[in-house]
Structure 1
Amino acid sequence: MSGFEPYAELDGNYSDARATACPWPVARDLLTGAEVYWLSTVRPDGRPHVTPLIGVWADGALHFATGAEERKARNLAVNPEVVLTTGNNTMGEGLDVVVEGRAERVRDDGRLSLLATAWEAKYGPEWHFDVRDGAFASGGRTALVFEVRPRTVFGFGKGALFSQTRWRFS
């Protein structure tokens, strides 16, 4: 996806008449800089599950890690379709972003090493991971790493001009 920028489409039904579509680089920068994301998955019995987590935007995808026995990992084993959200909890300003896609396991040790470096650069040395057997390893625990390449992203602009932008990816 290097260099690819999806087309930004403003939904006039949910936007101020004076609003314009949010440019993709603004949403991408928010995804890159966010400290916390909310992951929505579906339990095997169909009930929703939402949890906050940390992650890294790299190479056109959002990445997160989880223990193999955690609820989110067990949900993904049955249904890899997810929604990730981030933004701020105010109405008067900012942008909220919703990423829809499929969580795919990252197993390549070379890629995982690059992601581990990105994790530590973003969150500090307490989030240092070694890479072992296709997973992150730290303190005797193992974490599976997933990437979500966006299929559709929504941006909800707040403040003086409310807006809803949609970006579609192939």
Structure 2
Amino acid sequence: MPDPIPTLDSRFSDPDTQATPWPTTRETLENAQLFWITTVRANGHPHVTPLVAVWLDDALHFCTGPAEQKAHNLTTNPHVVLTTGCNTWNTGLDVMVEGKAHRITDRPTLERLATAWATKWDGQWQFQATDTGFSHEASATALVFAVHPTRILTFTKSPYTQTTYNFD
């Protein structure tokens, strides 16, 4: 995929600022240790929870237990927002990835993802690929999802900018 074109939203940006370059955004997605995922419950209410994720093949990947709330939510509504960044006012970059989550069950892709998880966290997250997702820690199972972005928003602080990348 060619690099997406950043668009600065001047309504929410300081004067004389530039859009966040895609390599900066991609690096943030690749290196972030924690994301917050927002899913939609069957009753339409949001559900937010932290998780770890891996950026691979132009998508953000995460896993969850089949009995967890987010797994239930995704069966009725695949729309998600994954957010990462920092909780400071004057420094840092916050990134929000919008898209639809879809299950990954392709064994070669799952094996690549298991390797990516282990590499990103120096072996702290060990998964084995199965025909339905991941297994780990005494045969616990996890469903694996990919989110190919439809839109990414970035927010820099001091100077303040809002950048949009559309993937339609």
Q: Which category of TM-score, normalised to the shorter sequence, fits these structures?
A: over 0.9
Amino acid at match of 2:71: A
Report what 2:132 is aligned to. 134
Amino acid at match of 2:161: S
| Residue of 67, 70, 83 corresponding to 2:68 | 70
Report what 1:36 is aligned to. 34
- Structure 1: 4+ residue segments shifted above 3 A: none
Report what 2:54 is aligned to. 56
Report what 1:46 is aligned to. 44
In the TM superposition, what are the counterparts of 1:1-170 in structure 2 within 5 Å? 1=1, 4-139=2-137, 140-159=139-158, 161-170=159-168
1:131 to partner: Cα distance: 1.1
Normalising to structure 1: TM-score of the pair? 0.96
CA offsets 1:117-163 (integer angstroms, 9 cap, x no match): 0000011323111111221001221000000001000000102x100
CA offsets 1:17-36 (integer angstroms, 9 cap, x no match): 12111111100100000000
Q: Is the 8 A contact 1:56 1:63 kept in 2?
A: yes
Distance 2:59 2:124 in 1: 23
Note the aligned Cα RMSD (angstroms).
0.8
Distance 2:108 2:132 in 1: 9
Q: Is the 8 A contact 1:63 1:147 kept in 2?
A: yes
SS in 1 for 2:67: coil
Distance 1:57 1:105 in 2: 15
Amino acid at match of 1:116: A
Identity of aligned residues (%): 49
Q: Is the 8 A contact 1:112 1:134 kept in 2?
A: no
